[in-house]
Amino acid sequence: MRALLAVTLGGLIGTGLRLACDLTFPHADGELPVETLIVNLVGTFALGWLVGGLWTRPAVPGWLKAGLGSGVIGSFTTLSAVMASLLVLTREGEAWLAALYLVVSVVGGLLLAAAGL
């Protein structure tokens, strides 16, 4: 129950931050979505920093990890989770699996976005 509350609160924070970025750096259709690029790059860095640092400490509770990762970062951006997964797979010696995951994520995402349109 504590993890659910942490993710919910973190989601509110991350969504608010994302909206603030969208309002601060608006773009028209057909223009480079700079705010999305910035958000995704910042989120990727933040999640990598958390996974590589804070989350390696045994004393950090699971609800805090869930609140920061899935809640704040997850609602702020989605690319950060993909990049973190790729880094973990590569670090674990699974470069081929990381490459496959990247291709499927990008190609699959484009195909599904096109299907959704």
Residues near 69 by Cβ (< 8 Å), separated by ≥ 6?
A: 47, 50, 51, 55, 81
Percent of residues, the chain, with pLDDT higher than 90 = 31
pLDDT tens digits along 11-35: 999 999 989 988 998 877 666 677 8
pLDDT attached to residue 65: 93
What's the whole-model pTM score? 0.74
Q: 7 vs 12, 35, 48, 62, 77, CA distance in Å? A: 9, 24, 18, 11, 14
